[in-house]
Amino acid sequence: MQHRWTRPLVLVATGLSFHLASTARAREAGEDDAFASIATVQAAYASGALTPEGLTRLFLDRIATIDKAGPRVNAVLETNPDALQIARTARGKGPLAGIPILLKDNIDTGDRMMTSAGSLALTVKPAPRDSEVAARLRKAGAIILGKTNLSEWANMRSTHATSGWTARGGLTVNPYVLDRNACGSSAGSGAAVAAGLATAAIGSETDGSIICPASMTGLVGIKPTVGLVSRSGIVPISHSQDTAGPMARSVADAAAVLSAIAGPDARDPATAEAGKHATDYTKFLDPNGLRGKRIGVVRQLAGIEPNADRALEHTIALLKAQGAIVVDNVEIPHLKELSEHEIDVLLYEFKHDIAAYLATRPDQPMKTLADLIAFNKREAAKEMPWFGQELFLAAQAKGGLDDPKYIAMRDRNKRLAGPEGIDAALRKDKLDALLAPSWGPAFVNDLVLGDHVVSGDPTVGGVSAPAAIAGYPSITLPVEFAHELPIGVVFFGTKWSEPTLIAIAYGVERKANAFRRPKYLPTLPVR
């Protein structure tokens, strides 16, 4: 990766003191600044070579020329009309001081921007207050630059959806090859950071929506333990699986952003234990952190896509070269059973959780899932030109959270994925983490037929499913390219194992050096 350091975030972890009085010495921000690490940016601020206003203006210009024109990546739904004013008054008062960050458009900001989950149904008024994630970013000094496009309702509306498409924003494309998909549902967050439209972004995941877009856009994505990062003020799918997390161009940057957003929140009971575990994750960026680590290769999740398999073998070689102990062909018990009831649990929870979220938006006419279904029918020409709302209808037909069927399925899923799945595999071979391919190369966009799964066992919903269902953390990072498209791997482990996963990913990243700036190819050349 670019801008690696032996202790890459000492400046970020301690905070910086910079003052706008130094603007006379500041140079004009350029393309290298758009792809610079947090540590590099803040060092430039401290020296007076760059200002938060200059960097923010650069990103706004790039959004205008790359996202809305030129290659038209279409990753950003709207920019913050107050971003430049915030940047002008920025001071070094936090670990992300002056760092422009984009938020997925399902994360509330109590400002002039909408929070819509990509749907026209929620565009009446902005949210009345910040989500806890947005509030923590502001406290850390970050500049909230704008909102990114996504898969509408985080891919919870239809079984035939195309990732990265919303009625509000259209289709986000992959900046590496423009007729390819950026994956979902955090497609805009991934495409924007890969294209140098922000220093980092926040995505959210229920099952795969950070890991897949990060993998297909060549980024580092961290899906935290459920309960480490608050979900209050985030449009939900499932309280048992949802979490927000960072997407960045390096492990160091992702660790810095996770450090800022992690912690307890009284509005989200799941975070009750977060105070015991949230920490400065940049402490785990150890160049020797792989030595002695025991990592199990989950071959059950490989053997489907050859490019992904080559990336896996490359990663195994990098691990061994740095002193890690690789235990091959580790099996996760019950893996194929995980898909049996996952969607049913999500449908029950979505019906309940979306109503609870809508109650926090009193100025919106939408109050229930039934209201959203009726809106989509009325606005079918705009909302459903490509796919319908089968999942909405299925969720509406479910009972309440006191339904014994729901409780039994939820508890079974958690047990099989967590204690009897991932934990059992780790315990059997005394492992620190598990390794699998992320996904294969990005698939071609297809609004008519929807997404094409090209890697990951479809019977378990892809490589993200075990950790997602268990509520355990995972991290993906790029390790090589195939046919101009990035390929990544994913490490996952037990609950609260973010420090271990970050240390492992950082060790791999230092040798893989895999991030590349996109070329915005219209399509792949056929020779």
Stretch 348-374: mean pLDDT: 97
What pLDDT, on the 0 to 100 scale, is given for residue 8? 35
- 185 classed as catalytic: yes
- 158 classed as catalytic: no
Fill in the amino acid letter for 316. Answer: I
CA distance 464 to 469: 9
Stretch 102-120: mean pLDDT: 98
Stretch 125-142: mean pLDDT: 98
- 163 in Cβ contact with 451 (< 8 Å): yes
pLDDT in tens, 455-504: 444 333 458 999 999 999 999 999 999 999 999 999 999 999 999 999 99
pLDDT in tens, 52-69: 999 999 999 999 999 999
| pLDDT for residue 527 is more than 80 | no
Q: Is 94 inside a domain boundary?
A: yes
CA distance 226 to 234: 14
| pLDDT for residue 365 is more than 50 | yes
Cα angle at 130 between 124 and 131, to 5 degrees?
Answer: 105
- 217 in Cβ contact with 193 (< 8 Å): yes
Looking at the DSSP bridge assignments, the partners of residue 327 are: 296
Question: pLDDT band at 453, cuts 50/70/90?
Answer: low
Tell me the percentage of the chain whose pLDDT exceeds 90.
Answer: 90
What pLDDT, on the 0 to 100 scale, is given for residue 438? 92
Tokens 């207050």 locate to 129
The more confident residue out of 453 and 359 is 359
Q: Is 38 inside a domain boundary?
A: no
Q: Find the CATH number of the domain harbouring 487.
A: 3.90.1300.10
Which residues are within 8 A (CB) of 66 and not within 5 positions of it... i.e. 6 or more apart? 73, 195, 196, 197, 520
Q: Exactly one of 131, 185, 259, 474 is catalytic; name it.
A: 185
Tokens of 110: 């109590």
What Rg do the C-alpha atoms of the chain give, in angstroms? 21
Q: Exactly one of 37, 116, 119, 209 is catalytic; name it.
A: 209
- 131 in Cβ contact with 265 (< 8 Å): no
Q: Is 253 inside a domain boundary?
A: yes
| pLDDT for residue 519 is more than 50 | yes
Tokens of 38: 């947090």
**CA nearest 125: which of 148, 146, 138, 108?**
108
pLDDT in tens, 3-22: 322 333 333 333 444 444 34
Looking at the DSSP bridge assignments, the partners of residue 180 are: 444
Please state, rounded to an integer, the average pLDDT across all residues of the chain: 93
Burial class (CB in 10 A: 0-12, 13-18, 19+), 406: buried
**CA nearest 105: which of 172, 138, 75, 150?**
150
Q: Is 91 inside a domain boundary?
A: yes
User: Where are the strands (E) in 333-410, listed by range?
Assistant: none
What pLDDT, on the 0 to 100 scale, is given for residue 221? 98
Burial 126-160 (b: 16+ CB within 10 A, else e): bbeebbbbbbbbbebbbbbbbbbbbbbbbbbbbee
**CA nearest 217: which of 198, 231, 235?**
198
**Could you tell me the CA-to-CA distances from 23 to 11, 27, 34 in Å, in that order?**
20, 8, 19
Q: Is 430 inside a domain boundary?
A: yes
**CA nearest 279: which of 300, 297, 258?**
258
Where do runs of H (alpha helix) occur along 24-131?
A: 31-34, 38-47, 52-62, 83-88
What pLDDT, on the 0 to 100 scale, is given for residue 462? 57
**CA nearest 466: which of 504, 432, 420, 498?**
420
Fill in the amino acid letter for 377. Answer: K
CA distance 418 to 207: 15
- 104 classed as catalytic: yes
What pLDDT, on the 0 to 100 scale, is given for residue 473? 98
Q: Is 34 inside a domain boundary?
A: no
Stretch 411-429: mean pLDDT: 98
**CA nearest 438: which of 452, 453, 456, 451?**
456
**Is the dihedral angle over the CA atoms 146, 271, 127, 85 positive or is it negative?**
negative
Backbone angles phi and psi of 102, in degrees to 5: -100, 145
Q: How many domains does the chain have?
A: 1
* Domain that residue 490 falls in: 73-512
| pLDDT for residue 2 is more than 80 | no
